[in-house]
Amino acid sequence: MLAGKEVLIVEDDPVFIRIISGFLKKEGCTVREAENGLDGLKALREGIPDLLISDLSMPVMTGLEFVQEVSLEYPMLPVIVISGTGGMSDVAQACASA
């Protein structure tokens, strides 16, 4: 089901990105990575993936700002929001923005 799909992961934690990327590659995905929201926007301009996975807590541009920008520029792009924080209010706010 994932084979042949392209996924963009926007995450600043190198361990977490390696885990997600490794899993997706084993499933046959092509994976691109960005360390923050600004780099994520640049990556989207280079090519639209089949799926975007984004952290909420990142430097340079917060994940919430990033997801809001993505929802405006790329409204049909499926987005999965991840968060290492304990509060679900940020995740709910990101989902409402998308």
How do residues 68-86 score in pLDDT, each as one tens digit?
999 999 999 999 998 765 5
* Residues contacting residue 75 through CB under 8 Å, at least 6 positions apart: none
Ordered domains of the chain (ranges, CATH): 6-97 (3.40.50.2300)
Q: Mean pLDDT in the chain? A: 86
User: Which neighbouring-strand residues pair with 54?
Assistant: 10, 81
- What is the distance between the alpha carbons of residues 67 and 44, in angstroms, rounded to a whole number? 12
pLDDT at 62: 82
Are 6 and 41 within 8 A, CB to CB? no
Q: What backbone phi and psi angles, to 5 degrees, belong to 7?
A: -125, 135
Span 21-58, pLDDT tens digits: 999 999 999 999 999 999 999 999 999 999 999 988 88
Q: For strand 6-10 and strand 51-55, is the pairing parallel, antiparallel, or unpaired?
A: parallel
64 pLDDT higher than 60 = yes
What beta strand segments (E) does 1-98 contain? Answer: 6-10, 30-34, 51-55, 79-82
